């Protein structure tokens, strides 16, 4: 059985996300949001009127070797 941890801390328009994989951060408002994951990927999300949402991911996942 695996274990999970997630905690989010809001500091003004910024949000710091803590998880067992590392620290990520995000910035934005209801319409426009940019998130950086602990492994280096970036997600851009735009919410449109009428319930539509468009998202795009940038960057490749960084792989770490576990010794």
pLDDT of residue 21: 83
Of 8, 22, 36, which is closest to residue 44 (Cα–Cα)? 36
Averaged over 43-64, what is the pLDDT? 86
Q: Is the pLDDT of residue 67 over 60?
A: no
Q: Is the pLDDT of residue 34 over 60?
A: yes
């Amino acid at each position: 059985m695996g274990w999970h941890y997630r905690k989010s801390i809001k500091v003004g328009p910024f949000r710091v996300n803590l998880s067992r994989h590392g620290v990520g951060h995000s910035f934005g408002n209801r319409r426009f949001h940019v998130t950086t994951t602990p492994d280096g990927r970036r997600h851009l999300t735009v919410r449109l009127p009428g319930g539509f949402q468009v998202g795009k991911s940038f960057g490749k996942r960084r792989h770490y070797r576990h010794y």
